[in-house]
Every structure is written in C-alpha cells, then in structure tokens.
Amino acid sequence: MFDRHQGGERVVLAALDLGDPDFAESMAELRLLARGAGLDIRGEVQGRRSRPDAALFVGSGKADEIAALVAATDAEVVIFNHELSPAQERNLERRLHCRVIDRVSLILDIFARRARSAEGKLQVELAQLQHLSTRLVRGWTHLERQRGGVGMRGPGEKQLETDRRLIGIRVKALRERLAKLGKQRRTQRRSRSRHRVLSVALVGYTNAGKSTLFNALTRAGTYAADQLFATLDTTTRKIFLPRLADADEPGSGEVVLSDTVGFITRLPHDLVAAFRATLEATAEADLLLHVIDASSPVRERQIEAVDQVLREIGADAVPQLRVYNKLDLTAAAPGVGRDEYDRLQSVYVSAQTGAGLELLRDALSETLLAARETGASETPSSPSTVHSA
C-alpha cells in the first residue's frame, strides 16, 4: 500500500536553505539516508528562500531547474529534504514529471527496510499508514467514480472513501496488536523490578555508535554499521557489574542493557508515535546512557535533538550519563567528567577500539550503586559537558 523504493533508483536531491543553522549538516544526512536506502544520487539542487512557496515549496524558477536536472540525468525520483504537504507533492510531480517524496517518506521507507522483529514491522506499518492517509489523493485519478458491489459498504461509495475506511480498519488492528505487545513488555519489566534488576537504556543520535557500544559491553553480536538507522528493533541483554553484587542477594550484580533506535533531527512525528510503546522502556529505565559522536562538529545540536525526543516520550526526567564515543576519530583520551559535587557527568570512550570501556563499566557501577543505595535517582538528570571532547 505504501510506495517502496527499489534498490538503485536514480534520484535527485532538493533542498532550500530557510536560514536554518544546521542546513549543511541536514543535507549531509539526506545524502546518507539516500545511500542507506540504496538509491543512486544523480545530482542536487539547492536554493535559498525566506519562506517556502505555498504551491511548489521551491518556487517556479527553482522547480524548472530541478526539472531540467531530472531530464538531464534521467532521474526517477526527486527527494526533498523537507516535509512537503500533499498538495505540494502533487504539484511538483505534475511540474517535474516524476515521483516526488519528502524526507519523512524516505525515513519511513528506510525503517520499513530495516525492521526485523514482528513488533518493529507493525510499528513501521502503522507510521506508514498514518502518513499515507493524508496523501491518498496522490494515487487516484478515479476519485469521482462510484464503486459498489459485493463486499463493499454499499452502492455509491467512492474509491477514496473505501481506501480511507480500509486504512482506518488496519490502523485500529495494528494499534490493538501493539497495545497487547506493550502490555506483555510492561509485565516483563514489572517482573524484573520485583527482582530488583536495574535497567539501562542506550539512547543517542543515529550513527553515534550505540550498537557498537552495546556489542562491546554485552558481546551480543547485534547488527552494527556505519549508516543511519542501522538499528530499529530494541535488543536487550544482561551484563554483570561486580561492584553491584551483594552476597545476600543472588543476581544483584546483573543489569539489563537495552539498545534502542537512534534519533535524528525532524524525526517524523508519526514514527515517534508508532514507536512510543518500544520507547516506553527508555522512559522507565533506571539510567540512560546518552551515546554521543565525539567526532561530530555538530554534536551539540545532535544532543539537543535527542533530548527533544526524550521530552516527547516522557523520558527527560530519567537520570542520564553522557558517553562521548568515537574517540579513535579524535585526539581526546579516555576519561570521565564530574561536576562540582564530584558526581559523574560523562565518560569518554571508543567502542570501536575498546578504549575507556572499563571506565564506563566503573561509571555504570558507581552511578547505579548510588541510585540503589539512596532508593532514589540521585544521579544528574540534566548533565552538562564537563570538558570538551
């Protein structure tokens, strides 16, 4: 039901600089997203405007420039680095004589390709259907035809109304199945809570190295790659921290560590909503390990993007320890950062080489031990950068 890209499709990328400070970084992300989807980038068109054009987003002259590049490169799809309205997509397709999608559709497509678990696939399908429901008019040229007959709601129902009704039925079924899976997950978490098993969730900007760090700490062998959204399905493993062990409590040194989906600027709202059930584990964790790419020149903006999503899912109050990763790409050395009260704020590691991982394990033990001993979250909930990576 949802338009899926085939590997190797020829595409042209288009974007407007509307005065955003992260325009260059956003374009770099779009290129990575397109390559990650297996698309063949034939060219780019960029422009600058104070505000988008209501009809074409880019304006008439820039649309003609894109059309010329599409014709010259034999491109099949134009991908805009923005969220387009259904009317803008429709107008652009008529003007450019090819398919047009926006950043949201591209991200949804990548999620559809990468989801592996049954729940992950359900969540992606839900997000796709919610996005598609606003764009049904794009695909139909027979909207005024009347359709009746066996199996239909009744004579006189329009095709568009039928499709919206069928999508609504499917969305309801998906939500019910996801709610059931969420209930099962909450039961499992309550069971761990009764056994006093502490939980830690890895969060961070996409491609910050969460899965590589997860594998280094757990030896889980989960999929990790240098691409955006390499991980979609939450993976959970137990690790043992000796300093947390209590001789009178069997298994008290065990900690449940979860690897979660990465975040990105302008993450589609439908996607956040669809993955809310999975991300509940983040909101209910005892500690968040916020993994940060120490080599990124825009890491502060990436940190804010992650914190924004955490606020959206109600996880902003969970204690957070920042882990500056990829030190092998910088001149920085492994270490820890503390605030003026000697509380841990950050750890500097390289998951790729293993440098600083013992410091991270010690930091985890110290932070979780303090929380367990006090019976409350004494750890910093709004960490600050103690020293520059």
* Tens digits of residue pLDDT in 282-291: 888 889 999 9
356 touches 334 (CB < 8 A):
yes
Angle of helix 118-132 versus helix 103-114 axis, rounded to 10: 160
Which residues lie below 8 Å from residue 261, measured CB to CB, with a gap of 6+?
206, 229, 231, 232, 233, 234, 275, 278, 279
CB count in 10 Å sphere of residue 383: 20
- Integer CA distances (angstroms), 229 to 110, 116, 282, 285, in order: 8, 12, 17, 22
* Helix segments in 37-158, DSSP class H: 60-73, 86-96, 103-114, 118-132
Q: What pLDDT does residue 123 have?
A: 79
Q: How far is CA 292 from the centre of its chain?
A: 14
CATH of domain 195-374: 3.40.50.300
pLDDT tens-digit readout, 45-79: 999 999 999 999 999 999 999 999 999 999 999 99
**Single-letter amino acid code for the residue at 168:** G
Q: Tell me the pairing of strands 254-259 and 198-204.
A: parallel
Indicate whether 217 pLDDT > 50.
yes
User: Which of the given ranges, 161-165, 198-202, 244-248, 273-277, has the highest pLDDT on average?
Assistant: 198-202
Percent of the chain clearing pLDDT 70 (strictly above): 74
Q: Do 214 and 235 contact (CB within 8 A), yes or no?
A: yes
Contact partners, residue 103, CB within 8 Å, separation at least 6: 30, 33, 79, 80, 81, 82, 83, 266
What distance in Å separates the CA atoms of residue 176 and residue 6, rounded to the nearest whole number? 31
**Residue with token string 């989801």:** 115
Residue range 262-291: mean pLDDT, rounded: 75
* Whole-number pLDDT of residue 333: 94
Which residues are registered as beta bridge partners of 102? 80
Q: What is the mean pLDDT of the chain?
A: 79
Count the neighbouring beta carbons within 10 Å of the beta carbon of residue 135.
18
- 206 burial (CB, 10 Å; 0-12 / 13-18 / 19+) is buried
What's the whole-number mean pLDDT along residues 309-313? 84
In this prediction, residue 145 has a pLDDT band, given cuts at 50, 70 and 90, of very low
- What pLDDT score does 128 carry? 84
Where along the chain do the CATH 3.40.50.11060 domains lie? 10-110
Span 230-246, pLDDT tens digits:
555 567 888 888 777 66
Which residue ranges are tagged as binding site for GTP?
204-211, 229-233, 259-262, 325-328, 350-352
- Identify the weakest region by mean pLDDT among 50-54, 166-170, 362-366, 372-376: 372-376
Specify which residues 57 forms β-bridges with. 53
Both tokens of residue 131?
Answer: 């996005």
CB 314 within 8 A of CB 324: no
pLDDT at 308: 87
Q: Is the pLDDT of residue 135 over 80?
A: no
**Please, what's the b/e burial string for 314-323 (b: 16 or more CB within 10 A of its CB; e: otherwise)?**
ebbebbbbbb
Domain 10-110 listed as CATH 3.40.50.11060: yes
Which pLDDT score, from 0 to 100, does residue 74 have? 95
More confident residue, 7 or 347: 347
Q: What is the pTM of this model?
A: 0.72
d(CA 207, CA 212): 10
* Residue ranges matching CATH 3.40.50.300 in the chain: 195-374
- Report the range of poorest mean pLDDT among 17-31, 96-110, 183-197: 183-197
| For residue 124, pLDDT beyond 70 | yes
- Using CA atoms, how far apart are residues 95 and 90, in angstroms rounded to an integer? 9
- What average pLDDT score do residues 135-163 get? 50
Ranges of beta strands (E only) in 287-327 are 287-293, 320-325
- Output the known binding site: 204-211, 229-233, 259-262, 325-328, 350-352
Return the pLDDT at 121: 81
| Distance between CA atoms of residues 118 and 99, nearest Å | 30
- Using CA atoms, how far apart are residues 183 and 277, in angstroms rounded to an integer? 9
Q: Which run of H or of E encompasses 357? A: helix 357-374
Extract the annotated binding site for Mg(2+).
211, 231
Cross-strand bridge partners of residue 246: 249
CA–CA distance, 40 with 9 (Å, rounded to integer): 6
